[in-house]
A and B are shown apart, each in its own frame.
Chain A
Amino acid sequence: MSATLLSVENVYAGYDKADVLQDVSLAVAAGSITCILGSNGSGKSTLIRAILGLTKPRRGRVLFDGADLVGMPTHRIVGTGIACIPEGRKVFPKLSVLENLQLGAYQEGDQGKIARRIEQVFGIFPRLAERSAQLAGTMSGGEQAMLSIGRGMMGEPKLLLIDEPSLGLSPRLVKENFAVIRRINELGITVLLVEQNVHQTLAIAHHGYVLSQGRVVASGTARELAENAEVRAAYFG
C-alpha cells in the first residue's frame, strides 16, 4: 500500500478568471481509500474535474501511473484506468439500467467481460437486476445511487473517483453505500472519496486531506484527522 497511484502536484484550476484550487498537492496510495473532506464550495468537485480534465488545470501536474494527465482529453484520461461516480449520481435518465451500466464499460470491447461485470454489479445490487429494463430516471434516489456506483465499477478502473455519494440520501442508505465502497476497495480498486460526511468517511478511509477555500489545510491518516481538534472545530462542527 505504499506505491503512489495518483499524485496531484501544485495544481491551480478554476472557472473564468479566479482560481478555485490553489497549489493543491496530494497523493493517493495504490489500494487505499483516500478521502478529501471539505465544506460546501471548498473545491472538492473542482479537484475531481481537474483530475478528469473536465476543468483543465492552469498549472501543476496530475500524475497517474507515471503519466501526466494534464492536457489529455477526458476520454483518454478515462482510458488510463480512471472512473468516476459524479456528484448527484448523474445517471442517464432516459436510458435503461442496463444501458447505463454498459456505458460504464464504454471503452471495454470484450462482451464477455462486460457481461461478467454486469453480473458482479447485479450481485452487489440485486435491486438493479430486477429493474434492468427500467429507465433510470424513473427510479428512486437510492436506486439511482446504486446504479451510479455500479456504473462506476463497470470499467474495472484502477482508480475510482467518488464525489459526495451521501448527498441527498437517508442515513440508512448512506451507511449501505459506504459499506459498498469499502467492498469495492477490497476488490482491489483504489478509491478517492470526496465527502462532507466526516464520521462515516473517516471510518472507511485510510488517509485523508482537508480542503478549505481551494487549499489543502490538513492531511494525515484517518485517525489523525479524526483526532485533529483544530480540523474538527473548523470544518466538521
Chain B
Amino acid sequence: MTLGLLSQYVFNGLMLGMIYAMVAVGFTLFFGVLDVIKFSHGDVLMVGAFTGLATYLGLQALGVDSPLVQLLVMTVVAALAMGLLGALIAKYLVLPLRLAPPLNTLLITLMLGSVLREAVRLFYPQGSNPKPFPRLLPADFVSFGAFTLRADSMILLLAGLAAIVAVHLLITRTKLGLAIRAVAQDAETARIMGINFEFIVLLTFAIGSGMAALGGLMNGLYYNEINFGMGLLLGVIGFSAAVIGGLGNIYGAILGGFLFSALQSIGAVALPALFPGTSTAYKDVFAFAVVIIFMAWRPTGLIAEKKSERV
C-alpha cells in the first residue's frame, strides 16, 4: 500500500470516528440521565441532515449564495431543529414511559425511528432516492509528496472536534453540566437539591440530538450524498460505540467511536490482504464481529462504570 493510500485510510477513519463519536455521545448522555436507550437517535441524525439540505435549498431559492452563510445557517437550523425534536421526544415519549419497563421505551423509540425514516421517504420530494448534498467547503488541498491534505476534510474534522469539546466543556465546566451529572448519578437527590429534573432531561436530549444533527451534516458534507436510510447503520454503530466505551461514560463513547472506525479500516485493509478476493465491503462484518467478541469478553465496556457512577 502506498503512503498516499494509507493517509487516505487514516483520514477517512478519523472522519468516520468523529461522526460515530458524535452519535455515541448522544446515546451515552440519554442513558446517563434516564437509563434509556433511544433507538431513534440515528434517524434523528438523518432528519438533521435533510433539514440542513432543505435549509440550503431554501437559502438558494432566496438568493443567498455565499457558501459560508449557507453553511452557518444550515448548521444552526439543523442543530436547533433536532435539539427541539429531541426535547419533544423526551417530553412526550420517553419521560411518560419512565416508570414503565425499559423495553417499552426501546420499542417506542424504535418505532419512532421507522416513522421518521418513512416520513422522509414519503414526504420529502423524491425522498426514496439518494440526495446530492452540496459541496460547500473549499476544495483546496496541499500535497506533501504522496500525502494530500484536503481543506474540506480538515475543516470537518476540526468542526467535529470543536463540537465534542464544546459538549465536554458544557458538561464539566458549567452549572447546567453539573446538574446533568448530578441527575445522571442520582436523579432523586438531584431533585432534592432543587434541580428541575424534567428540564435537565429535556436539555440533555436536546444537546444529544443537536450533536446528531451536526453528525448528519458532517456526513453529508463529506460524502456529498444523503439518503433516508443513512441513520440506521449510523445509529447502530453509534450505539455500539457507546456500549464499547461503557454506556454512560462520555470519554468512553468518544473512544468507542474512534475504535469502531479503526476496526472498519482494519477490516477494509486487512481482510483483502489476508484473504485475497474478499471485498472491503466485509469491513462492517469484521468490525461488528470484533465488537461482539469484545462484549462477550468485557460486558461492561472499556471503561467499566458502576450504576451510580455515570457521566
A233 CA to B195 CA, complexed, in Å: 42
- Interface residues in A89-127 by Cβ distance below 8 A to B read 90, 92-95, 99, 102-104, 106-107
Please state if A107 and B178 are interface contacts (CB–CB under 8 Å): no
One of A54, A86, A92, A155 near B194 (C-beta < 8 A): A155
Contact status of A92 and B185, CB under 8 A, knowing A75-B197, A106-B179? yes
Q: Mark A64-103, 1 if CB is under 8 A from B, else 0.
A: 0000000001110011000010100010111100010011
Which residue of chain B is the closest to A93 with respect to CB atoms?
B308
A156 CA to B291 CA, complexed, in Å: 50
Query: How many A-B residue pairs lie within 8 Å, measured between CB atoms?
Result: 65
Interface assignment of A52: CB less than 8 Å from any CB of chain B = yes
A197 CA to B209 CA, complexed, in Å: 50
Q: How large is the interface on B (under 10, 10 to 19, 20 to 34, 35 or more residues)?
A: 20 to 34
A133 CA to B310 CA, complexed, in Å: 18
Q: How large is the interface on A (under 10, 10 to 19, 20 to 34, 35 or more residues)?
A: 20 to 34
Which residue of chain B is the closest to A77 with respect to CB atoms?
B194
Please state if A95 and B192 are interface contacts (CB–CB under 8 Å): no
Which residue of chain B is the closest to A99 with respect to CB atoms?
B178
Interface assignment of B191: CB less than 8 Å from any CB of chain A = yes
Please state if B191 and A54 are interface contacts (CB–CB under 8 Å): yes
Please state if A93 and B309 are interface contacts (CB–CB under 8 Å): yes
A78 CA to B193 CA, complexed, in Å: 7
Chain A residues with Cβ below 8 Å from B186 are 90, 92
Task: Tell me the smallest distance from the CB of B144 to a CB of chain A, in Å.
Answer: 44
Please state if A84 and B185 are interface contacts (CB–CB under 8 Å): no
Chain B residues with Cβ below 8 Å from A103 are 178-179, 182, 190, 193, 195
Identify the 7 closest CB pairs spanning chains A and B, nearest first.
A78-B194, A90-B189, A74-B191, A107-B194, A75-B196, A103-B193, A106-B194
Further 14 A-B residue pairs, CB within 8 A, beyond A75-B197, A94-B185 = A52-B192, A73-B198, A74-B194, A74-B197, A90-B189, A94-B181, A94-B309, A95-B178, A102-B178, A103-B195, A106-B179, A106-B194, A106-B195, A137-B309
Chain A interface residues toward B at CB < 8 A: 52, 54, 73-75, 78-79, 84, 86, 90, 92-95, 99, 102-104, 106-107, 137, 151, 155
